[in-house]
Amino acid sequence: MKAYKTIDRQQGVASLVTAIMLVIGATLIAFLTAKTVLVETKNTANNYRTSQAMAAASAGLERGVAYFMANGFDADGDTVVDYGVAVFACDATPTVAITNGAGAFNFDNAATNQTTYSQFYFDNTASPIDMKRGTIVARGWSDDCSAMRTITQQVGVVNVFKPGASPEQAWVSKASVGVNGTGTIINRYTNTNVWAGGDYGGSSAAYDTYIRPSGTEVADYTDAELVSDDESLNTVKVSDRNSGIGIDIITDDAFLSSKTSSQLDADLGDSDANEFFEMYFSETKEGIKGMANNAGQLITGGSIPADTTGLVWFEGDLSLDSLGAADEPLTLIVNGDLTINGNTDFFGIIYTTGDITGTGTPVITGSLIGEKTGADHSMSATSTLVFKPWGDGDGAGDPFQPGTGTVIAGSWKDW
């Protein structure tokens, strides 16, 4: 009887042990759940900060690309080739500034009272140095600087002219060239001044042409000497009214006159209808017009702002004003007639689909090209044309021209 009573007294032990195990299990589950929630909260916060940093870096990259598209790497004309800047400390707020191509700035969100930070700089230190090609490095920080992301993008330029096919003469005409009055054409780079599909009227006017003296090389002169409008410096006269047409004037060239050209808008994208244009340019008329439009330099009517540089497509007849500079040339396509008046100074290349007429005392440093068939492109002026080989197609020797910048496909990296 006593044995049975002992067993009866121990009947609650199993229940107690089970209850204790359940309590312990519940406690462990609660701890694990709390830890999981904490980890997920941290991950969510980390993802949020990383997204902030990525968005800021993307904004910095967009600013860097926009800066390059408008200015190139050497916008200020200096000789700095390394635009890298030190990363600012997390406790330092960057300023809204662009110095030597490097930018650091912040984004304020008034609604949430949060600020993220971004910075971009250019790296074009690779050899050989090319101021029109390089890498943009953009960094972005979260609002508490706990997360940072870096993005890189390579940028470069699209050549407006085909490599080795840019103009080699001061004046090129698919038709005839007529000059009246007193004028000068100078070419110290090559041995031809005028290339025409028709005849040349300069021999009946006081229009003189000059080339570099024999026995000398382009390398013998400074850049300033090569483009001087003073015909008495480092030149020899070749053609004038008394001597007639010299070796620097090419006329009645069937190769040139046989090239097709069309002034119809419907033919802008037709290579077969615009062989003359595509002798020089790397794209169809439609493509070049699109490049100018992308740069905000497609101008319809009126005039061209005086500070304009780069690739410009002008739609309509244009009365040319002074444009460009020795280090900021224009590639100007005039889809219409061109009138050159007064004391105009122009630096770059002018291509016109219509007639060319000139009066006054203009000075054009570069090339003048006319495509219109049957037109007698004429300068009735005391004009000076000084040839300079802008747009030689190698992408290295010429200044950056707005409208020619591009991002290199496949070069975007996030690391």
User: 296-305, 308-317, 395-404: which has the minimum mean pLDDT?
Assistant: 395-404
Residue 117 pLDDT exceeds 70:
yes
Q: What is the pLDDT of residue 127?
A: 57
Strand 176-180 and strand 182-187: pairing?
A: unpaired
User: 61-70, 209-218, 347-356: which has the minimum mean pLDDT?
Assistant: 61-70
- The CA distance from 331 to 347, in Å, is 9
Q: How many other CB atoms sit within 10 Å of the CB of residue 157? A: 20
- Residue with the bigger pLDDT between 352 and 176: it is 352
State the chain's mean pLDDT as an integer.
80
Catalogue the long-range contacts made by 86-91 (C-beta closer than 8 Å, 24 or more residues apart).
87/119, 87/139, 88/117, 88/119, 90/141, 90/145, 91/145
Torsion of CA 151, 154, 155, 156, to 10 degrees: 170
- Residue with the bigger pLDDT between 401 and 246: it is 246
Of these ranges, 75-84, 100-109, 160-169, 399-408, the one predicted with the greatest mean pLDDT is 160-169
- The CA distance from 164 to 394, in Å, is 7
- The CA distance from 197 to 259, in Å, is 9
The H or E element spanning position 34 is helix 13-71
Contact 64, 119 (CB under 8 A): no
Q: Is 242 helix (H, G, I), strand (E, B) or coil?
A: coil
**109 phi and psi, to 5 degrees?**
-115, 100
User: 37-41, 181-185, 241-245, 303-307: which has the minimum mean pLDDT?
Assistant: 37-41
Positive/negative CA dihedral, 266, 269, 270, 271: positive
Q: What is the pLDDT of residue 346?
A: 94
> pLDDT tens for residues 325-340?
888 889 999 999 999 8
pTM score of the predicted model: 0.74
Residue 398 pLDDT exceeds 70:
no
Contact 84, 121 (CB under 8 A): yes
Positive/negative CA dihedral, 278, 284, 286, 292: negative
User: What are the CA-CA distances from residue 189 to residues 49, 109, 212, 248, 387 (Å)?
Assistant: 58, 57, 7, 12, 7
> pLDDT tens for residues 21-76?
888 888 878 777 777 777 777 767 778 888 888 988 888 888 888 878 877 775 44
- The CA distance from 164 to 189, in Å, is 14
Residue type, 288: I
**154 phi and psi, to 5 degrees?**
-85, 140
Residue 112 pLDDT exceeds 80:
no
Of these ranges, 114-118, 136-140, 251-255, 341-345, the one predicted with the greatest mean pLDDT is 251-255
Of these ranges, 199-203, 314-318, 359-363, the one predicted with the greatest mean pLDDT is 314-318
DSSP for residue 266: G
The two most distant CA atoms of the chain are separated, in Å, by 152
Per-residue pLDDT averaged across 398-409, rounded?
A: 82
Per-residue pLDDT averaged across 177-184, rounded?
A: 78
Q: Where are the domains of the chain?
A: 49-159+406-414, 171-386
Instruction: Sort 43 into a burial class: Cβ within 10 Å, 0-12 / 13-18 / 19+.
Output: exposed
Per-residue pLDDT averaged across 363-371, rounded?
A: 93
Residue 186 pLDDT exceeds 50:
yes
User: What are the CA-CA distances from residue 125 to residues 113, 183, 307 (Å)?
Assistant: 39, 45, 30
Residues in the chain: 415
> pLDDT tens for residues 142-173?
877 888 888 999 998 888 888 888 899 999 99
Q: What is the pLDDT of residue 393?
A: 45
Q: What is the pLDDT of residue 126?
A: 62
